[in-house]
Amino acid sequence: MGDLLAGFAVALTPANLLWGLAGTTLGTAVGVLPGIGPALTVALLLPVTYNLDPTAALIMFAGIYYGAMYGGSTTSILLNTPGESSTIVTAIDGHQMARNGRAGAALATAAIGSFVAGTLATLALSLTAPLMAKLALAFGSAEYFALMVLAFVMVTTMLGESRLKGWLSLLLGLTLGFVGIDGLSGHARFTFGIPYLLDGIDPVIVAIGLFAIGETLWVASRGPAIDEVLPVRGSLMMTAEEWARSWRPWLRGTAIGFPLGALPAGGAELPTLMSYAIEKRLSRRPEEFGHGAIEAVAGPEAANNASAAGTLVPLLTLGLPTSATAAVLLAAFQQFGLQPGPLLFEHESALVWGVIASLYIGNAMLLVLNLPLVGLWVKLLSIPRPWLYGGILVVASLGAFSVHRSAGDLLLMAAIGIVGFLLRAIGAPVAPVMICLILGPAAEQHLRRALSISQGDWTVFVSHPLSATLLAVSALIVGLGILRKPRTGIESNHEVE
């Protein structure tokens, strides 16, 4: 608790409050705007925050992550085009509520639910992360490798239309990750004699290409679309009945979102789907689902915010990103020479706790930003779609160029963008590419390190109980296909997370 209080001292300095406000505002904006998400936004900001104080930059990035979870719901409710993959589920009943003239109540239950879940889940993060960090100290290379294998398996099984397409994305990410000089031996791999490739493929360029360019091409390929933005009707104050129908889904959503976010299951998509399915089963009025049931907005909205906090647990304590945004956040830590992992809490106590404390403050800011000020965000939706995507392309190319000030990066961005488009076109998930690009080389290094330490003895992976368990679970998931994405009949081609 002392650490957390010290963290508040860091987060409450005027400068850091301002960065937090900037992050939450920007996060809400990108959440509201379709086509850009938190992963892309953080990636775009990385080059320009290079000279910033790491604590300030990370507070802003965390604010963006949380903010996008709030902002996405506004678009889902008023536009029926989800702003984020995490708010696809919200769009079903949220948009129906708006059609029925209850947009105010839908926005309110989403924002208050996000606040409740965000705060509770941040509390859970503050409690579990230090414990997890202590446990993680005992992790050796064998355990890390096994954990990453589990992450690969879960991410590919959970996302996408079919297993094959999930694996395709996984393998693409792994292959791209191997490009460059091998950190363990100094050998160049997959560089084809091109010096440009020696440093490997920058995850920031990949994030920009996959999410900004790929998404824009995908939107373009579906032809012109006309969106109708519904006006905010109905009071933002919820009635007693709406409160009564909302609070249980909020708590259940939190309970689902936090642990699932912490598991390597690819972020917020799965928890929101599960929350929807559970609320439907528990409801006394299941026939209302699909026609504007408030529970179907309250539960998933709480779940997506709780999962954002959950994602931070493995990211901070193990250096293990479980969603595309977390993968970019990991790159952000590394840009500042920080290595998330068990020692981060020891070495950078003020920074970690400062960021965690800023999440509590950010949640309060976001409640204000998203409820009384919701009208401002709705205006963002009136930006003509062609200009929005034109702007996205310009900002994306600017961001890609500023990483190394190299025109070659622009070409790489375009190439990755085309790949991102093709993946979307065949219905393959995009997020595993990003996660595996970052996790792949790390997993390989841990594998080879474990083998070096054991002097080539492969049994280390089964003689250590923890790594044996993790590998067994992974094998079961692959072999038996126990885990299936819950069927809700919801089509999702949006992978912008």
Partner 1 sequence: MQRVLAEIEPGVSVQVDNVPGAAGTIGLARFIQSERGNPGALMVTGLVMVSGVLLNGSPVSLAGTTPIARLTGEYEVIVVPASSRFRSLGELIDAFKKDPGSVSWGGGSAGGTDDLLVRLLAEQIGLPASSVNYIAFAGGGAALAAVLGGQLSAAVSGYAEFAGQIAAGQLRVLAISSASRVSGIDAPTLRESGIALDLSNWRAIVAPPGLSDAEEEALTARITKLATSPQWRSTLEQNGWADEFLTGPPLRQFLLAEQARIEDVLRRLSANNSRAPTTLAVTLTPSSLPNAVAMIFLGALALTAFTTTRQSVAFDRQGMRMTVALVTALLVLPIAFVTAGFVASSTMLFAIASTTLRAQSLSVRAIAIDLSVGAAFSIALFLLFTRGLGVMLPGFF
Site for partner 1 in 33-62 (CB under 8 A): 47-48, 51
Q: Which two tokens stand for residue 4?
A: 């957390």
Query: Distance between CA atoms of 356 and 358, rounded to whole angstroms?
Result: 5
Query: Are 434 and 428 contacting, i.e. CB atoms less than 8 angstroms apart?
Result: no
Name the strand (E) or helix (H) holding 66.
helix 54-79
Q: Is 493 in the site for partner 1 (CB under 8 A)?
A: no
Name the strand (E) or helix (H) holding 188.
strand 188-189
Among the listed residues 240, 387, 465, 487, the single contact to partner 1 using CB under 8 A: 387
Query: Distance between CA atoms of 143 and 130, rounded to whole angstroms?
Result: 19
Among the listed residues 6, 12, 188, 468, the single contact to partner 1 using CB under 8 A: 188
Among the listed residues 35, 160, 417, 420, the single contact to partner 1 using CB under 8 A: 417
Among the listed residues 6, 17, 181, 236, the single contact to partner 1 using CB under 8 A: 181
Nearer to partner 1, 236 or 350 (CB): 350
Nearer to partner 1, 68 or 168 (CB): 168
Q: Is 195 in the site for partner 1 (CB under 8 A)?
A: yes
Q: Is 333 in the site for partner 1 (CB under 8 A)?
A: no
Q: Is 140 in the site for partner 1 (CB under 8 A)?
A: yes
Q: What angle do CA 8, 13, 18 make, to 5 degrees?
A: 110
Q: Is 350 in the site for partner 1 (CB under 8 A)?
A: no
Q: Is 81 in the site for partner 1 (CB under 8 A)?
A: no
Nearer to partner 1, 61 or 139 (CB): 139
Residues 253-312 touching partner 1, rule: CB under 8 A, are none
Q: Is 22 in the site for partner 1 (CB under 8 A)?
A: no
Buried-state track 121-157, b at ≥16 Cβ within 10 A, e below 16:
bbbbbbebbbebbeebeebbbbbbbbbbbbbbbbbbb
Q: Is 222 in the site for partner 1 (CB under 8 A)?
A: yes
Q: Which two tokens stand for residue 423?
A: 């993946």
Residue 99 backbone phi and psi in degrees, to 5: -65, -35
Q: Is 213 in the site for partner 1 (CB under 8 A)?
A: yes
Beta-ladder partners of 180: 189
Among the listed residues 15, 194, 199, 227, the single contact to partner 1 using CB under 8 A: 199
Residues 419-478 touching partner 1, rule: CB under 8 A, are 421, 425-426, 428, 440, 444-445, 447-449, 451-453, 455-456, 458
Q: Which two tokens stand for residue 14?
A: 């005027």
Nearer to partner 1, 127 or 422 (CB): 422
State the DSSP code for 230. Answer: P
Query: Distance between CA atoms of 90 and 279, rounded to whole angstroms?
Result: 13
Among the listed residues 22, 100, 128, 182, the single contact to partner 1 using CB under 8 A: 182
Among the listed residues 123, 291, 391, 488, the single contact to partner 1 using CB under 8 A: 391
Q: Is 172 in the site for partner 1 (CB under 8 A)?
A: yes
State the DSSP code for 286. Answer: G
Among the listed residues 229, 230, 393, 477, the single contact to partner 1 using CB under 8 A: 393
* CA separation, residue 68 to residues 39, 40, 253 (Å): 10, 11, 17
Part of the chain binding partner 1 (CB under 8 A), chosen from 107-115, 116-124, 416-424, 466-474: 416-424
Nearer to partner 1, 282 or 415 (CB): 415
Q: Is 14 in the site for partner 1 (CB under 8 A)?
A: no
Among the listed residues 224, 465, 479, 489, the single contact to partner 1 using CB under 8 A: 224
Q: Which residue has the tokens 């989403």?
A: 110
Q: Is 178 in the site for partner 1 (CB under 8 A)?
A: yes
Q: Is 342 in the site for partner 1 (CB under 8 A)?
A: yes
Q: Is 394 in the site for partner 1 (CB under 8 A)?
A: yes
Q: Is 343 in the site for partner 1 (CB under 8 A)?
A: yes
Q: Is 186 in the site for partner 1 (CB under 8 A)?
A: yes
Name the strand (E) or helix (H) holding 436.
helix 431-453
Among the listed residues 1, 5, 94, 24, the one whose alpha carbon sits nearest the alpha carbon of residue 308: 24
State the DSSP code for 289. Answer: T
Query: Distance between CA atoms of 450 and 495, rounded to whole angstroms?
Result: 34
- Three-state DSSP state, 339: coil
State the DSSP code for 87. Answer: G
Among the listed residues 12, 350, 395, 477, the single contact to partner 1 using CB under 8 A: 395
Name the CA radius of gyration of the chain, rounded.
21
Q: Is 19 in the site for partner 1 (CB under 8 A)?
A: no
Nearer to partner 1, 402 or 488 (CB): 402
How big is the chain, counted in residues? 497
Q: What is the dihedral of CA 239, 245, 251, 254, to 10 degrees?
A: -90
Q: Is 138 in the site for partner 1 (CB under 8 A)?
A: yes
Question: CB of 473: closest distance to partner 1 in angstroms?
Answer: 22
Among the listed residues 493, 401, 491, 441, the one whose alpha carbon sits nearest the alpha carbon of residue 47: 401
Nearer to partner 1, 55 or 141 (CB): 141
Identity of the residue numbered 273? L
Question: CB of 190: closest distance to partner 1 in angstroms?
Answer: 6
